[in-house]
Amino acid sequence: MSRIREKFRELKRSGRGGFIPFITAGDPDLATTERLLLELGKAGADMIELGVPFSDPVADGEVIQRASERALRNGVTVHDALTCARKVRQDIDVPLVLFSYFNPLLQFGQERLAVVASQAGIDGVLVTDLIPEEAESWTQNLLRHRLDPIFLAAPTTSEKRLARIAQHAHGFIYAVSRAGVTGERDEMTRDAEALVKRVRLVSDLPVAVGFGISSPEQVRAVWRFADAAVVGSAIVKHIEKLGQSQDLVRHIGQFVRSLLPRM
């Protein structure tokens, strides 16, 4: 059983939702990324999404775009992101999901990516711009190396495509809370809950909701109808604000703890 599947079973047994933070590898630098991964695990993350910086992150808002730009200026690559994961895996037991656009992974090599990611302790790979209609070989390649292929579903996703996503996805399905790009929002839309209901009609996989979640109230709201909440831009915004501060990791840990609803 994969670490992702086991984590969701553990969450279900405990009767609570999951919390999945996102950071970009190499923002502000690779050494800090390693420390952040460890701190996020200590702060209560049930899984962690590690973003691969990309020059044209079209699904992301300005905050995560700037994080990619900072990491790319540092020369950070797919290999660097995987090396970060490998270095911390012996000290962290939470599932790690590599979050990327397809181009960097294609350049790295599909077979090579699966081998190196598995060796690094990555548990799943989410490719934001890979459509399920073109994912057969990709999915099978990941599964051969015991990696969960994770797919996005949006409120605008058709019923036909949802069925295809359910066919290819493993681990969990990432439900985008609204149409548009990543970024903080003051309120969660009803689109997210409606989408989760649609996903559950075609798949028994856990469903995580992301895009726009930035407060413990929003995390709790997501937990009422989904299995996990993903927080990205709110965390990355704090990383940007703190810059090269020596207290960055500690402050991010405190911020993440503040996002967790009190049970």
Q: Is the pLDDT of residue 60 over 80?
A: no
Give me the catalytic one of 34, 49, 148, 193: 49
Instruction: Give the 3-state secondary structure of 207-258.
Output: EEEECCCCCHHHHHHHHCCCCEEEECHHHHHHHHHHCCCCCHHHHHHHHHHH
Burial of 263 (0-12, 13-18, 19+ CB in 10 A): exposed
Q: Is the pLDDT of residue 122 over 50?
A: yes
Catalytic residue list contains 187: no
What is the extent of the structural domain holding 230? 3-259
What's the whole-number mean pLDDT along residues 86-115? 96
The predicted pLDDT at position 182 comes to 44
Give the other-Cβ count within 10 Å of 182's Cβ.
23
The predicted pLDDT at position 190 comes to 77
15-46 pLDDT tens trace? 999 999 999 999 999 999 999 999 999 999 99
Q: Tell me the two tokens of residue 75.
A: 């020369």
Task: Name the pLDDT band for 56 (thresholds 50, 70, 90).
Answer: confident
Nearest CA to 43 out of 198, 259, 242 is that of: 259
203-261 pLDDT tens trace? 999 999 998 899 999 999 999 999 999 999 999 999 999 988 999 999 999 999 999 98
Question: 140 Cβ partners below 8 Å, 6+ apart?
Answer: none
- Count: domains in the chain: 1
In percent, how much of the chain has pLDDT > 90? 86
Domain CATH number, residue 184: 3.20.20.70
Give me the catalytic one of 27, 34, 46, 60: 60
Catalytic residue list contains 123: no
Burial of 204 (0-12, 13-18, 19+ CB in 10 A): exposed
The predicted pLDDT at position 183 comes to 41
DSSP-H helix ranges across the chain:
3-14, 30-43, 62-73, 78-89, 102-108, 110-120, 136-144, 159-168, 190-202, 216-223, 233-242, 248-259
Threshold 0.85, pTM exceeds: yes
Q: In 3-state terms, what secondary structure has residue 153?
A: strand
Give the span between the Cα atoms of 215 and 260, in whole angstroms.
Answer: 8
Task: Count CA within 13 A, CB hemisphere, residue 240.
Answer: 17
The predicted pLDDT at position 181 comes to 42
The predicted pLDDT at position 196 comes to 96
Q: Is the pLDDT of residue 178 over 70?
A: no
Which residues does residue 97 pair with via DSSP β-bridges, in sequence order?
Answer: 49, 124
What's the whole-number mean pLDDT along residues 95-120? 97
In percent, how much of the chain has pLDDT > 70? 95
The predicted pLDDT at position 184 comes to 42
Give the span between the Cα atoms of 166 and 177, in whole angstroms.
Answer: 18
Rg of the chain, C-alpha, whole Å: 17
What's the whole-number mean pLDDT along residues 55-66? 83
Task: Name the pLDDT band for 137 (thresholds 50, 70, 90).
Answer: very high
